[in-house]
Structure 1
Amino acid sequence: MHPCIFIVMAVYRPDPAHLKAQLLSLAGQTHDRLHLIAVIADTKSDNLVHELAEEAGLTLTLVPSDFGLDSVRAFETGLSEALRLIEAGGLEQEALVALADQDDIWHADRLEKGVVALRASGADLVHSDARLVEADGETVLQHSMFAFERRQRRPGLRGLLYRNNITGMTTLMRPRLLRLALPFPPQSGVHFYHDLWLGLLAAATGGVHLIREPLVDYRQHGANAIGAIDRRQGWRGRGKRPDAMWLRREAAAYALARYLAQSTFNRIADAVADGRLMHGEARLSPLRPFLKRLRGAGTHLWDATRLALRGNIGLARIATGFAVVSLGRTVWTMREALGAGLNAAVNAFDTRLYSLSPGMLPRPPSSLPKTNKSATDHKEIVDLRKEPRWTPEFTATDPAVTVLVPTLNPTEIFAGIVTALDIGLGLAARGYRVRFIATDLPVSSPGTSRSFILHRLGPGVDAETIADRISLHCGVQSPTLPAHCGDIFLATAWWSAHVAEKLIRRHGYDQDRFFYLIQDYEPHFYAWGPEYADAMASYDFNFEPIFNTTLLRDYFAARGFGFATPDTLAFHPSIDIARYSRGKRDSARPGPRRLALYGRPDVPRNMYATAVETLARFVEREGLDPDDIELISIGQTHGDVTLPGGLTLKSLGKLPWEDYPDYLCSVDLGLSLMYSPHPSHPPIEMAASGVRVITNQFGPKDLSQLSPAILSVPATAPDLADALSVAWHADTVPQQEREIDLTKLGLDPELMIDQLAENLASRLPQDQG
């Protein structure tokens, strides 16, 4: 049998010469039954790929994308297309799938030897070694990436979670593995790559086989998504010591391994349940240390000992870190269950008990010596977010816009931080140096954070040049950070405004005014007290405001803040309306109509309790049951809620950003509340998706002015329930109501950044590169 091999390639801002060389190497394979699937992850390289593939004589399927895809999503999309083509062509028994990067070079026998290895081994996935070459594609740097990176040749299933030894662009696999692997487990940002997930499932089921010779030339250059790492010296000389930052890094690595182990177990369980796998076909015992709730540290410690005895010191260090975190997890859990938490619960019960009679707590014996054991350090009481935790070291050669954000970890980034990041990226694209500093939470993985941020650069930009202007720093664990006396700060929350003000005052920066990105009226986040007062105090500093929407600017003006003038910068939400309005709705979808609630119980201004009361009133008034309506909550994971009529509100939690628009096109009604002058994104996104959505008014905020699909009413359960009834009996949303003009809420974000850049021109030098 001469199998047809579908080659999946993700294309993202390619170097045309490198891409041409790669496509010619595909065309030159001794196994010549090929079909290239190119996923256009950058949204714009389709013409280039088509031209070069035609020149190379390759059969091509282009998979376009309306929005930028990271590498994992791009390969997931391409593999899904490969399965579709295999099924459409009836090629199940004579098709294989390979992965390719856009700038490497395949040896002519790469696929031929892969096919032989698959047949001989019976494995579901084979992969090979690779040579490391210079950017010119000819100069050989290392003859073996396995030797260069000290990869284990047979790590086993658990060993892959310590360090992945599979490079995607060397793989060849059977379609049955893809049916098991798709869709990939969701993640925020890129914390694991597709090759590791494929390798885990293959190792647990059909097996993984290594071809020990290099069959691909890996081109090492400045734009690699992941560059080769020299580990030939092992762990020596890296200077890592067990401190708080070390522990956080180890915890992040352990959390990822545990997540992937649990995801592998869950996927196998589902496959057994639906008949894709037979009972006993998968081998999951190596994952047990990650699956047990309170045990597993001993196995990781044994792995560390075994790896150290074999000379794999770097891997032994990783296994030791996993053991430390696993043990710490158990100790912390037991301490919370049986330690201070237990004492506090008993004391609280006794206090209530004695309040019944005699109304007083027993006094301790007078003979008991008085101690100060219960004294609390003042740092546990004072809000340290207002204090800069680092000292500026004026060693930077050029001044920069210094953006202060609470975190740079992708999993902890929400819409407000994304807006600040995009402003920083926009200024970097306009020639300014930009320094991002995490003020609240340590940076778990600098590489992951940098990749996440740079991936937000839009199409049509010189990504490498812009990336050179951007630096990321951890202001939590670093005692000093590089600075320049000409730096200008951009604060993004009230406490970072305090940080900016103190840094300027204490260290004598030339610029005594900072920019303040105001995205809500933050004093209202708190009851009257220290945080309320500190948030209010931030509005008295010497700053230039940037408002997220004119609605918020008008609210500040109405409250008498003199800095909220009509000419103050204000921009509309950065929502890609077209991405939602172009979504196709399935009017013939069977089953009950679907209502989606933006449900976040832990965020008071989203009024979760009011929303649940509204739903109860609505379904009772309309006499609805499960045959009529399905109630879904999105935004935050929470428990199910029973409602009248035998209905249950089920939580889907936070949906992956890439899946969110398509899901909204399956929703008929929406309920999204925000008791604040700032318009949250969900009502606008829902309306653009063709959903009739109910939201609340607040001060000058009335989102019904944006589209008739939005019903904006007073924030009371009776009013909201009335509006839901109106929406329930209304017609479907016509296309013209989905085309929402956001300029009513302020400048386009890009125009705002243009004006901000002009404002900076007299104060900061621009990079002319």
Structure 2
Amino acid sequence: MQYDSSTFGVVALAAYQPNWELFRAQLRSIQNQTHAHFQCLISADGGFADVRDFVTRELGGDERFRVIGFEERLGFYGNFERVLEHVPADAKWVALSDQDDSWYPSKLETLVPHLADVSLVAAQARVVRLPGNEVVTASTQRKNVPLDALLAQNQVTGSLCVFRRELLDLALPFPRLNTISQVHDHWLAVCAKATGGALVVDDIVQDYVQHGGNVLGEVGGRKSLAKSFEHVTALSRKFQGSSSPLAMLRTANDLSFGWRRVMADALRTRVAAGTPGLDGGVAAFETGHGWIPTSRALVTGLRSGDIALPCFVEFIAGVPVELFSRGGTSHKGSSNNRSSPVS
């Protein structure tokens, strides 16, 4: 089908205790899109009345914007899953939105037409830091990589992507692993790559705003090994309750093999057997993976630049636990027991 300015879609925005100044700027940037045929569905993960009243007041009753709220707080990952569960059936495309960025006016007009050829398209952002809108980097420099490299290291930022609504039939419910590495955009990207295709383009379509309240941030360039170590130490304290060597090894395994295994197993279960590229794409990370395809995928990715050195080192750190707990635990689909929305 044609994807053009007349094609209806949904902007899915996950909100939680937003910075009102940044939220205002983001809402206005969505409202001012040159592709105007959309509904913006805003899921308030708590604080429904405040978010609803703010949207109504700031946007002058623009009926394209609808706020839904829930009693149960699910966090960043679960809130994006929940808003996607409420995308109407007549939508042809979905664009993900954070609550604190700023879209350029032609973002949707630029990206939506690519969906005639692929299931998901992602672009680049200029990264700016508050206060003062200091430019950290002129482009996020995401790239097109094979499925195994995409599983290893995500190249798709949720706020920079648009995808066909039918991708949700495969992606929902989201798989689960209790770690910060379970992120909605990585999962959606590998779902698209394994089926109808994923494309990363060079267009810069928004400002990606960095500030003290970011759930997941962007850095200018690749993380250093020292920063990666600090990152694993902090996450180990949070998710394992300790920064002991064993706890850090478990954390490194969750961050590397664990989350990739969850996604690879879910793809193996949900994508039709014999789909071109599926076997080779998931072989390196699925439950019971052999070490030859795993080593080949990681080393090839490192040499080509598709996998950054700090990411490669996280996999190396995850090897000991992977060796002693082969198979791990299978992924768990998200619960269908959702609280009813308020709107």
TM exceeding 0.5? yes
Cα distance in 2 for partners of 1:5, 1:222 equals 31
> Where does residue 228 of structure 1 map in the other structure?
218
Change (3 A) 1:233 1:189: closer
Are 1:322 and 2:327 counterparts? no
What letter matches 1:163 in structure 2? Q
Shift of 1:42: 1.9
Residue number in structure 1 paired with 2:21: 17
2:101 corresponds to 1:104: yes
Report what 2:337 is aligned to: 659
Structure 1 match to 2:251? 249
Q: For 1:132, which of 127, 132, 136 is the aligned residue?
A: 127
| Offset at residue 106 of structure 1 (A) | 0.1
The alignment's TM-score, normalised by the length of structure 2, stands at 0.80
Distance 1:251 1:655, change over 3 A: closer
Q: Write the distance in 1 (CA, Å) between the matches of 2:135 and 2:297.
A: 35
In structure 2, do the counterparts of structure 1 residues 78 and 47 end up closer, same or farther at CA, with 3 Å as the change threshold?
same
Could you tell me which residue of structure 2 aligns to residue 178 of structure 1? Answer: 168
Match of 2:284, SS?
helix
Distance 1:137 1:209, change over 3 A: farther
Measure, in 2, the Cα distance between the counterparts of 1:324 and 1:15: 37
| AA aligned opposite 1:262 | D
Cα displacement string for residues 16-60 of structure 1 (whole angstroms, at most 9, x for unaligned residues): 2111111111111111112110111123322222322336x3512
User: What is the distance in 1 between the residues matched to 2:85 and 2:32?
Assistant: 26
Counterpart of 2:264? 261
Structure 1 range deviating more: 221-230 or 123-132 = 221-230
The change in CA–CA distance for 1:237 and 1:210 in structure 2 (over 3 A counts) is: closer
**Counterpart residue number, 1:46:** 52
| One-letter identity of the residue aligned with 1:135 | L
Q: 1:654 to 1:218 in 2, by over 3 A?
A: closer
Gaps of 5+ in 1: 273-278, 335-636, 638-652, 663-769
| Distance 1:235-1:308 versus aligned 2 partners, 3 A rule | farther
1:38–1:78: 8 Å Cα contact kept in structure 2?
yes
Deviation at 1:126, TM superposition (A): 0.5
Aligned counterparts, 1:335-734, within 5 A: 659=337
> Quick one: distance in 1 between partners of 2:228 and 2:158?
28
Contact 1:15–1:103 under 8 Å retained in 2: yes
* CA RMSD, 1 decimal: 3.2
**In structure 2, do the counterparts of structure 1 residues 134 and 156 end up closer, same or farther at CA, with 3 Å as the change threshold?**
same
Tell me how far apart the structure 2 counterparts of residues 265 and 127 of structure 1 sit (CA, whole Å): 24
The aligned runs of 1:72-91 (5 Å cut-off) are: 72-82=77-87, 85=88, 87=89, 91=90
For residues 65 and 237 of structure 1, the distance between their equivalents in structure 2, rounded to whole angstroms, comes to 36
Q: Does residue 60 of the first structure (1) align with residue 65 of the second (2)?
A: yes
2:139 is the alignment partner of 1:117:
no
* Structure 2 SS opposite 1:145: coil
What secondary structure sits across from 2:86 in the alignment? helix
The separation in 1 between residues aligned to 2:315 and 2:229, in whole angstroms, is 19
Amino acid at match of 2:261: R
* Secondary structure of the structure 2 residue equivalent to 1:290: coil
| Aligned residue in 2 for 1:69 | 74
2:190 is the alignment partner of 1:197: no
Separation of aligned partners in 1, 2:339 and 2:16? 22
Output the amino acid matched with 1:222.
G
Superposed CA offset, 1:141-179 (max 9, x none):
221122xxxx5x123222122221111111111011011
Indicate how the Cα distance of structure 1 residues 60 and 303 shifts in structure 2: closer, same or farther if over 3 A, else same: same
Structure 2 spans left out of the alignment, 5+ residues: 233-244
Match of 1:5 among 9, 28, 46: 9
- Aligned amino acid, residue 32 of structure 1: A
Cα distance in 2 for partners of 1:159, 1:178 equals: 22
- Aligned in 2, Cα 1:326/1:296: closer, same or farther, shift over 3 Å? farther
Q: 1: CA distance between counterparts of 2:103 and 2:338? A: 37
Match of residue 240 from structure 2: none
Contact 2:10–2:38 under 8 Å retained in 1? yes
Equivalent residue number for residue 217 of structure 1? 207
Q: Residues of 2 paired with 1:660 and 1:8: CA distance? A: 17
Give, in angstroms, the shift of residue 661 of structure 1: 7.7
2:239 counterpart residue number: none
Pick the aligned partner of 2:156 from 166, 173, 177: 166
- Residue 137 of structure 1 contacts residue 219 of structure 1 at CA under 8 Å; is this kept in 2? no
Shift of residue 196 of structure 1?
Answer: 0.9
Following superposition, the deviation at residue 77 of structure 1 comes to: 1.6
Cα distance, 1:104–1:298 mapped onto 2, change above 3 Å: same
Structure-2 separation of matches of 1:171 and 1:320: 28
8 Å contact from structure 2 (residues 173, 333) kept in 1: no
- Work out which structure has the larger RCO, using CA pairs closer than 8 Å and 6 or more positions apart in sequence: 2
Query: How far apart in 2 are the matches of 1:333 and 1:4?
Result: 47
| 2:41 aligned counterpart, secondary structure | strand
> Shift of the alpha carbon at 1:63?
1.4
Secondary structure at 2:43 match in 1:
strand
Could you tell me which amino acid in structure 2 is paired with residue 287 of structure 1? V
CA separation of 1:193 and 1:303: change in aligned 2, threshold 3 A: same
Name the CA distance, whole Å, in 1 between partners of 2:227 and 2:78.
36
Instruction: For 1:223, give the aligned amino acid.
Output: G
Rg (Cα) greater in structure: 1
- Which residue of structure 2 aligns with residue 545 of structure 1? none
